[in-house]
Structure 1
Amino acid sequence: MTADRQIASAARRILAVVVAVLAGLTASAAMLAAPAAASTTDVATDCTPDGTTACVSPIVLDENNEPLPGVDVTISGQGFEEVVTSTDGPVSVAVPEVGSYTLTLDPATVPDGMQPNAAERQVTAQLGSTARGAFSITAGSAPAETGSTTEPSETADGEGASTDDEAEASGIGADGSTENVSGWPAFSQVWQQFGSGIRFGLLLALASVGLSLIYGTTGISTFSHGEQVTLGALLGFVSINWWGLPVWAAVLVTIIVCAATGWFQDVVLWGPLRRRGTPVMQLMIVTIGLSMALQYAIQMVIGGRSQRVLSSNARPVEIAGVTLSAASWLSMLVALVVIGVIAWFLTRTRIGRATRAVSDNPALAAATGINPDRIVRIVWTVSTGLAGLSGMLLAISFGSFTWTLGMILLLLMFAAVTLGGMGTAFGALAGSIVIGLVVEMSTLIPGMPSSLRYASGLLILILVLLFRPQGLLGRAVRVG
């Protein structure tokens, strides 16, 4: 019987790994399609830089260096994404974070018979200035590229200091980048991205820990967990912008409602299916259908464009040489506290120890008097509440969110859980930190488009499956 249980356990792990790879491929396809869902509606185009505001401005010029209206440019980076349309005048957008942003021109909006000189521009947003990226669109062959520039902050009489002189003195390139002469980023930028990676990893961990707990107690790799994250961002947006609640109250509402959805799902869906003995594979197919239903329900509420949870511009705060918004620092503190509470819950409380017992061996746990169904219901409730909190904190920290947030993060959550060890809550935490660092710091590689940074999670997922399938903290299982 022991050998049979080992074989069954190994089969479940192998099945979960295969499903994780399929999830990564599905999320990658959704990520590549996500920019098309953005919209140019309600984009502020009159950003004024000051000591607390950084602006990004795409410039589209024709062959006579005159503004060319009607061309769409996507501004993305630091978790922010907006699509703006060029006009006869200047167009600028306030971005939530200082740092590197990618301007991507949509070739479908270029007039017939004309060709842009480049498809992408990299700019660096700084407080008190407007980072500009210029595109030149001409008939026939493209001319030499026009570099991106960073406008200095204006003085009272409208005059500013020389951009080139300031760049040379500060070590920042004239195009707004912080690279050294070898083309690799300076230490200050590496340290900044390291801090951003820790932030992203902590917020990702809130969702990944729940996903790992669900797998450990039920054997299900749930595809709908990403939409629980998006639901949290949506509830935060609705609570603050529609209901007028303060942020702390919106956080409580988000956690309670998202946790209630997890409880409700187990009562009406997962519990009855478990009692009927439904195979794990069929349960995972149900999660795919639930994921699609939640995706389009959320899109019906907020539409295809991005939404800002906090309408005010981010207030930057520098700690230990890392500049992030005040909301980001507060979100990281909340994440650390919640992760500490979860660790205490799993190791020091009776229900937490019962959860670990059910995760290790449900039959043995039931023989000792533990009710596995009750534990699984608690896990669903807690996990969806954590996912909702993660979604709201991500939306606050990165400034905005779209209905595709969950699809993009699902790949990274599966990668984090696989890297840490399937079914291991502490492994999910470690894996999330690694994934967050890799995603944010991969943008420092020269020539690496920021739009591909999430694909690094898929690379890690593949490498882990090839060389250490049990993950960092998982246990190897002998088969046969």
Structure 2
Amino acid sequence: MASTVRCRRGWASRPRRLARIALLVFAALITVLLGAGSAVAQDPSPPPDSGPPGTTAEPAPTGGVPVTGTLNDAGDRLSGVTVRALDASGDTIAETESVEGGRWELTVPPGTYTFSIDPDTLPDGVDVQADVTRDVVDGRVNTVIFSFGEARTGSAVSAGETLLRTVIDGIRFGLIIAIAGVGLSLIFGTTGLTNFAHGELVTLGAVAAWVFNVSFGIQLIPATVLAIVTGVIIGLLNNALIWAPLRRRHTGLIAQLVVSIGVAICLRYLILIFFSDRTQPLADYQAQQQMQWGPVAITPVNLACIVISLVVLVGVAVLLQRTRIGKAMRAVADNRDLAASSGIDVEKVVRFVWGLGGGLAALGGVLFGLSELGARVQWEMGFKLLLLMFAGIILGGLGTAYGALLGCVIVGLLVQLSTLVIDPDLKYIGGLLVLIVILVIRPQGILGSRARIG
């Protein structure tokens, strides 16, 4: 009897030991990723030259906002070209020279500036069309693009071409939302959890790619693969440390929703503390020249994002339709109790869904930073994308992967098309409007089915 009791106690204490080990691994992973990002995000600069003895070095200006760009003349990168920022009175506020690859960067206080190029520093036969006036805003990516060659009139791009390019851009944006949102829909379908912390999984994936790419010097493609692996691990740890214990205690879905909001806030501000409060550029794919086929013009990065998104989403569809784990996922989503009584290991399916959702969120974060933020990473980028993910999932139908895909593409199209009539900085408002309209008119979504409760 005593040996039986000891055996039972050993088995009973094993989950606690596993939970402690998983907690230590999770803490170490977050410390390595976010700690390394913080070290580089501080961007320490060497101390200024103190000058001759008896003189005092003038302190560097603080509170400036970085403005960047790349001087690209039909594929030729222009280095050694002087770029100036002029205020309203025409005084030079900042000046810099483009480096190898044509990239330049200067820092100015927030405000409205005219950016000009010194024509004497341009190569022979190269002319800039006009100066560029921009509002420099803190907390936003500030990029200035100069046009070279013969000046073009406003009729160079017709309204039809503009509409076609906007539609393609909307499809690209919708596919990226779908990559991040499919995992959120699968988690809801298998567990019933409305996970408000999913946006932070997107941000953590982008931050992990930035750390591997910038801090460790790994090229972005393998860095993205490592970020996806990191996202899978973070998703599994989320389930093991938070959601699996809550399910074992039969915690209600409303209480779990509140917990997810707390987890989201905690992760968001941990990223802010250890990463940076400003956008940080990736080391690769900063400046892209558009490829043009007739009326269609798209950068290689945006084209790659569309192709990668389509391949991954088709892979997810094949997984759901052709594999045993995919059929088990659909069975659990349809009826959890019936699936369990049929011999399906529901917890194993849920663990797989959390890992898959974390990996897809990480990939979505990298693609979002590449194509939408100009190859940059920002500490609340996932939070900005979360509303659009929910809008797309609700539009397509809660808990259905195909509905999430369709709804997210429609939301991406509507958001990008709205820039034809409103300020691009306000385009995310369209996601909120879609969410409100769908909840009022068809709460079950396009592919969802009506369910009677009570």
The Cα of 1:370 is off from its aligned counterpart by: 0.7
- Of the three residues 375, 393, 418, the one matched with 1:417 is 393
Deviation sequence 1:421-467 (CA, Å, 0-9, x none): 0000000000110011011110001xx11111001011011111111
Matches within 5 A, 1:139-150: none
Provide the residue aligned with 1:254 in structure 2: 227
Q: Name structure 1 gaps, 5 residues minimum.
A: 1-38, 71-81, 94-126, 136-148, 155-160, 173-177, 181-185
1:193 equivalent to 2:166? Answer: yes
Does the 8 Å CA contact 1:49/1:130 hold for their aligned counterparts?
no
Q: Does 1:349 align with 2:323?
A: yes
In the alignment, what sits opposite 1:383?
357
**2:437 is equivalent to residue 437 of structure 1:** no
C-alpha contact 1:263 1:377 (8 A) present in aligned 2: yes
Structure 2 counterpart of 1:372? 346
Distance in 2 (CA, whole Å) between partners of 1:134 and 1:228 is 33
SS of 1:44's partner is strand
**Distance 1:235-1:129 versus aligned 2 partners, 3 A rule:** farther
In structure 2, the residue matched to 1:124 is none
Cα shift at 1:319: 4.7
Query: For residues 393-440 of structure 1, what are the alpha-carbon distances to aligned partners after superposition, in whole Å with 9 as ceiling and x for unaligned?
Result: 111223223111011101000000000000000000001100110111
1:187-226 to structure 2, matched below 5 A, reads 187-226=160-199
Provide the residue aligned with 2:262 in structure 1: 289
Give 2:140's aligned residue: none
- Aligned-pair distance for 1:328? 1.7
Answer with 276-285 or 396-405: which moved more. 396-405
What letter is aligned with 1:468?
A: R
Q: Which amino acid aligns with 1:153?
A: F
**Mean CA deviation greater in 243-252 or 419-428:** 243-252
Q: What one-letter code is carried by the residue in structure 2 that aligns with 1:373?
A: E
Looking at CA atoms only, which structure, 1 or 2, has the larger radius of gyration?
2
Q: How far apart, in 1, do the equivalents of 2:190 and 2:111 lie? A: 55
The code of the aligned residue for 1:208 comes to G
Structure 2 partner of 1:427: 403
Residue identity matched to 1:337: V
Equivalent of 2:153, from 167, 182, 207? Answer: 167
- Distance, in Å, in 2 between the alignment partners of 1:88 and 1:431 is 38
Matched ranges for 1:78-477 at <5 A: 85=109, 91=115, 132-133=132-133, 153=148, 161=150, 163=151, 166-167=152-153, 171-172=155-156, 186-311=159-284, 312-319=286-293, 321-398=295-372, 399=374, 400-445=376-421, 448-477=422-451
Aligned counterparts of 1:428 and 1:92: Cα–Cα separation in 2: 46
Give the TM-score taking structure 2 as reference length.
Answer: 0.72
How far off is 1:380 after superposition?
A: 0.6
State the distance in 2 between where 1:150 and 1:270 align. Answer: 47
Q: CA deviation at 1:316?
A: 2.4
Q: CA deviation at 1:44?
A: 3.2
Q: Which runs of 4+ in 1 moved over 3 A?
A: 39-45, 57-62, 67-70, 82-93, 127-131, 149-152
Residues 58 and 133 in structure 1, CA contact (< 8 A), matched pair in contact too: no
Cα separation, partners in 2 of 1:131 and 1:270, compared to 1, 3 Å: farther
SS of match in other structure, 1:220: coil
Q: Which amino acid aligns with 1:423?
A: G
Distance 1:51 1:463, change over 3 A: same
**Number of residues of Structure 1 aligned to a counterpart in Structure 2:** 357
- 1:220–1:280 Cα contact (<8 Å) kept: yes
Q: Secondary structure at the match of 2:218?
A: coil
Q: Tell me the CA shift for residue 285 of structure 1.
A: 1.1
CA distance in 2, matches of 1:194, 1:467: 25
- Match of 1:44? 68
What TM-score, normalized by structure 1, do the two folds share? Answer: 0.68
2: CA distance, partners of 1:267 / 1:152: 53
Whole-angstrom distance in 1 between the partners of 2:84 and 2:186: 44
State how far apart, in whole Å, the 1-side matches of 2:370 and 2:128 are. 22
Task: Give the share of equivalent positions with the same residue, in percent.
Answer: 36
In structure 2, give the amino acid aligned to 1:167: T
Q: Which residue of 1 aligns with 2:20?
A: none
Distance 2:134 2:329 in 1: 56
User: Contact 1:129–1:150 at 8 Å: present in 2 too?
Assistant: no
Question: RMSD of the TM alignment (CA)?
Answer: 3.1
Indicate the larger mover: 364-373 or 303-312: 303-312
Runs of 5+ in structure 2 lacking a partner? 1-62, 95-105, 118-126, 136-143
Contact 2:86–2:113 (CA<8 Å) still a contact in 1? no
Q: Equivalent residue of 1:380, what SS?
A: helix
Give the match's secondary structure for 2:307.
helix
| Structure 2 contact 277–379 (Cα < 8 Å) conserved | yes
* Cα deviation digits, residues 112-131 of structure 1 (max 9, x gap): xxxxxxxxxxxxxxx98666
TM-aligned CA deviation for residue 87 of structure 1: 9.6
Q: Is the alpha carbon distance of 1:40 and 1:412 closer, same or farther for their aligned partners in structure 2, counting shifts above 3 Å?
A: farther
Q: Does the aligned pair in 2 maintain the 1:59–1:133 contact within 8 Å?
A: no
Does residue 67 (structure 1) correspond to residue 91 (structure 2)? The answer is: yes
Cα distance in 1 for residues equivalent to 2:265 and 2:395:
26
Say whether the 8 Å CA contact 1:68–1:86 is kept in structure 2.
Answer: no
> How many Å separate the matches in 2 of 1:444 and 1:323?
17
Paired with 2:400 and 2:128, the residues of 1 have a C-alpha distance of: 45
Q: Which amino acid aligns with 2:71?
A: T
How far apart, CA to CA, are the structure 1 residues paired with 2:128 and 2:224?
Answer: 31
How far apart are the structure 2 equivalents of 1:243 and 1:423? 38
In structure 1, distance between residues paired with 2:358 and 2:282: 20
Q: Give the Cα separation in 2 of the matches to 1:227 and 1:310.
A: 22
Contact 1:420 1:472 in 2 (8 A): yes
Distance 1:294 1:86, change over 3 A: closer
Structure 1 residue 322, shift from structure 2 partner: 2.8
Distance 1:357 1:89 in 2: 59
State the Cα deviation string for residues 91-141 of structure 1 (Å, max 9, x = none): 479xxxxxxxxxxxxxxxxxxxxxxxxxxxxxxxxx986662268xxxxxx
- 1:145-201 CA deviation, whole Å, 9 max, x = no partner? xxxx996525xxxxxx4x4xx306xx14xxxxx5x7xxxxx1111111111111111
